[in-house]
Structure formats: structure tokens, C-alpha cells
Structure 1
């Protein structure tokens, strides 16, 4: 590997890396010199086990291109699976530098039809599946820092426009992806002292999870540039996971096609202070005046 590669020497974990965005990220990291732990449980869109091992296929792709990679097939939404994921990086390559949390699936329903099982399953894989790998990676990095070996560590979490604006028929997914933003902000604040930066991306790309949506809304790709190709998101994810992103933490970025947007989330807008308790009608009058001064929120997807 030549010295100019952005991630040369770094060890990178990518969860849900057997297909779609995760596969694109894993290949992009390897192309920039990283040694990659390719995690994928090999399940279907609804989270049920699949018959093959997509993680191994991605590892073979990376090795065929001259890179280094190892497969991990554990369930990262369990303590054992998340711990073994981090252990795989450490036992194989002796270190861990970057964690990309990407694994997920969909169980879409309108709220009145959304079963408790569908809620729990999506929360588990997206939100818990971000928390547990982050927890175990962070414990390693904190121990390194306390031993005097402060890491140059990076975490890239995967949110969604559904988590930022909402998406009709995706109450479980939207809530989980919004939760990931909150987790990102807390982790960035807590882990900065240990040399860890934590950011999130909200990608828009054609994957197994979104292919029907984008087929309906985007039409066929234009000649020369497929704006919905998963690989379009990976350059930002690779840079955020590299040493070159020093000083960037606690941020959310939207990535789609050739566009990168810094998302600006909840912050104080227009305010009114009466200096005493409001009456209900007085509070209502004040709110209507404040709303007239406030920015109009973005439209919920599918509304």
C-alpha cells in the first residue's frame, strides 16, 4: 500500500457490511488501505436468517483486490456478539481505529397496524445494534487512553432522513434513527477526552431496504452517474473514519448522490418569557405568535 492512502494502517469495523451501503463502505475503506472487519449476520430484509454468508463474499472481494479483511457473522445487537466483534478486530489485527455502525432492516407499517414485535425488532437492530458495538469499542479506547496510548479513534453512525424529518409508515424506523442521533451526540461529548470522535450520516441510496422506494420516485439512473448508488455515500464515511477528520465530532451529515449537507438539528428558536405562569389561553396566543416567527419544519417523507 502506498503512503498517500487515507486509511493506511487503520483497522475498521463495518456492521451490516454484506450488502448495500455497508458493503460499499467496506470496499471503500479497503481501497484506502484499511484492514476491515466485515460484519454481517446474513439475514433477510425482515431480519430472518439467510442461507448464505454475504460477509465472506465481501472479504473475498477485498482480498482479491489486494486488501486485508476478515469476516464476523455474530449478532451485534447482543452483548456477546458486540464483544466478539471488537475482539475479532483486536485478535486479528491488534488494534481498532474506526467503527462504522450500519446494520439494519425494515418492518414498515402504519402506526395503527404496527405490532409490538415489529417495533421491538427494528429498535433492537438499529438502536441497540449501534449502542452495543459502540460501548465495547469505547471501553477499549478508554482503556488505551488511560494507559497513555490515546487513540485517534472514529465512530460513524447511520441515521436517516426518516429519523430527522419522519417518514409515513416508518414509525419504528424513524424513532430508532432519531435515537441514533441522540446517541451520537452523547457519545461525542463523553468520548472526546479519550481521543474518540463520533459523527452520524443520513444516507440516501438504493439498497435492499430502499430499492422499491427509489424505483418509484427516481426512475432509471442517468447515463454516466447513478445518483442512488450506495458507493456515493462511502467517500464521506471513509473520510469521517480517517485521521484526516480531526476536530469534526458530534455532527450529522446527509449524503445523497454528489451532495453532502451538514444537518442542523434542534436548537432554540423564537421564545417568549412572561416572567410568571401563563394562562392556557395566554400560552396559546404566545405560541401562535412564536410559530409565525419560526422556520417551517421540513415535510415528513411520504406525507
Structure 2
């Protein structure tokens, strides 16, 4: 096995201009990949547009001695997603890995969420992951190889306040990834998800006033974006040739494998069920296995280690 896990591979990293995307792009380059840095240069809410973040990532890769090109096309439209993959083919002659990382936030409590807030987040996260993945799929099929690494979130896997759009998109990405893994396994193509943890603009509003709060924030700040990059590189590599259809997380120095939805309890009635029977017998029997209204911080309640 090469000491560089993705040596010679061509990798697209969407949202590669900063944060987790930049960290993944840099680690891909360190491990021998040629990188397409896709980033429209928008803010966290999707507004604006500048090539500067992608240019900064490109310069960092070049300083490492790596090769990188920039794509400023949006993932959220079919035609522009095609151009992202075409950029890889035109620049490097092939495509081996797609990292679906691009994202925006439009957090609003559900009963105040506008259609625009819903659609904009779904379009970037869920539709974008489909569009870019689909644009690469035929090339993967023809060459009988390829890997997808999608970014999900514990906001979708577990739950969070004020993120119906984001949570729905991120859980949808898990189903998309599993479907890709099932449909394309015969062509040697793999598809996995990462739920990343990282200190960023999204978590920087956590209070840090008391000594206890300051100590907790200091620990959270250890979860830098680069902590997610080694897992992404591994999943892109031939070292993970038998790993597909899975959901992982990287949290500081911890790695997690997530369960996936399966039946947890059943109850049977030989005569079938009436609504009254369900109320009197069926639901009381199932209730012991109900899943609580947990949020991500409730489940990941310990400090990162």
C-alpha cells in the first residue's frame, strides 16, 4: 500500500474554500491527490460570491507541492454540477472521488420557516449532493471504480432545534448515500457518510462567561475542522475498498460508527388491529421502546476527548 493513500486520484471537494472542506482538500493533497476545489465563495447563509476562499485553498495546496484547480459553479443546479465534474475531467483527465461538503444554513424555528429558507437549504445540501454525485456516476461506472464521501449531520441523525430544513436534508443525504452504495456496488463504487464535529462560525455563539463555560468552550475549540479530514481521505482510498453504505462521525480524537434505522420492537394480533386495540394494547406494548426527543447535545453530552 502506498504511503500516500490517495496518490494519483482526482478528488472533487465541494465547499472546499474553507472550514471542513478546506481541511479535507489539503489532506487529500498531502496524501497525493489532485484536487478540484469547488466553492462559490458564499457566506454561511448562501449570500455573496467570491473566488477568494477557493484561491486561498489552492495556494495552500500549491505550497504543499500539490495540484489544484478551482470551480466556482454552484452544486444546487443540474447544469452547473455537470460543469464541476467537467472541470475535473478537463483539468486532470479523470475523476475518482466526490466529497459532497458544500452547505449553507438558514436556521429558523419550524413554524416560522419560509419556503425560501426550506428550498435554499434543500437545494444546496440534498439536491447538490445528488447533482454532483450523479454527474460523476457515469464516469465511475465506466471505469469500474469511484468513491463518494457525503457530509451528514447529527442534526439529522439525532435532531436539533430550529433546523428542520438542514436536518431533513442531512438525513436525506444518508438515504441517498445508501441508495448509491446499493445501486453502484456492482461497479466497484462506494458511498459513505461522515457526520463532522468542528468548532466553527456555527458553534462560536456558545456562551463563555463563567470559568466552567470557558473551560468547556476551550475543549470544544479543540475540535478543529482538520480532525475530520483523515476519515474523509481514508474513505476515499483503496484502503476502504470494502467499506460502503456506512455512517461515521469524527469528534476530536474519537471515531464513531452510527446505527441505521431498523425495527426495535413488534406486537402481533391474530385478529388484526382496530384503533381501539392499538390504544389499549398495541401502543402500550411498544411504548417502552419509544425514542425520546433528544437533540445532538443530549446524546453527545460529554466533552470531546
Contact 2:24 2:233 in 1 (8 A): yes
Q: Counterparts in 2 of 1:100-179, with a 5 A limit?
A: 100-142=99-141, 144=142, 149-151=143-145, 153-179=146-172
Match of 2:278 among 273, 276, 283: 283
CA spacing shift, 1:115–1:135, aligned 2, 3 Å = same
The Cα shift of 1:81 comes to 1.3
Is 2:61 the partner of 1:66?
no
1:204 Cα deviation from its structure 2 partner:
1.1
Distance in structure 1 (CA, Å) of the matches to 2:246 and 2:23: 22
Higher mean C-alpha deviation, range 37-46 or range 204-213 = 204-213
Distance 1:68 1:214, change over 3 A: farther
How much does 1:295 deviate? 6.5
Unaligned runs of at least 5 residues, structure 1: none
Q: For residues 22-69 of structure 1, give each alpha carbon's deviation from its aligned partner in whole angstroms, at most 9, with x where no partner exists.
A: 000000110111111000010011111234521111011101111111
Contact kept in structure 1, 2:199 and 2:221, CA below 8 Å: no
Partner residue of 2:48?
A: 49
Work out whether residues 20 and 208 of structure 1, in 8 Å CA contact, stay in contact via their aligned partners in 2. Answer: no
**Alpha-carbon shift at residue 206 of structure 1 (Å):** 1.5
Q: Distance in 1 between matches of 2:290 and 2:255?
A: 22
Q: How many residues align?
A: 293
Does the 8 Å CA contact 1:25/1:238 hold for their aligned counterparts?
yes
Which string of whole-angstrom CA distances, capped at 9 and with x for unpartnered residues, describes residues 208-261 of structure 1? 333325979774435xx9532010011111100111101110000121111111
Structure 2 CA distance for partners of 1:159 and 1:274, relative to 1, 3 Å: same
Give the 3 Å change call, closer, same or farther, for CA 175–19 of structure 1 in structure 2: same
Task: Please tell me whether residue 300 in structure 1 is matched to residue 300 in structure 2.
Answer: no
Can you list the C-alpha shifts for 1:275-298, whole angstroms capped at 9, x where unaligned?
A: 332121211222221222x26447
Shift of 1:96: 0.8
Structure 1 SS opposite 2:61: helix
Aligned in 2, Cα 1:167/1:29: closer, same or farther, shift over 3 Å?
Answer: same
TM-score relative to the length of structure 1: 0.91
- 2:97 is aligned to 98
**CA contact under 8 A between 1:226 and 1:257: conserved in structure 2?**
no
Segment of structure 1 superposing worse, 66-75 or 2-11? 2-11
Q: In the alignment, is the contact (CA less than 8 A) between 1:17 and 1:39 conserved in 2?
A: yes
- Specify every segment of 5 or more residues in structure 2 that has no aligned partner in the other structure, as ranges: 299-305
Counterpart of 1:38 in 2: which secondary structure? strand
Within 5 Å, which residues of 2 pair with 1:230-245?
Answer: 230-245=225-240
- 2:7 is matched with 8
How far off its partner does 1:166 sit? 1.3
CA distance in 1, matches of 2:49, 2:86: 24
RMSD: 2.1
Residue 264 of structure 1, CA deviation: 0.2
Question: Is 1:21–1:207's contact at 8 Å kept on the other side of the alignment?
Answer: no
2:199 to 201, 206, 211: 206
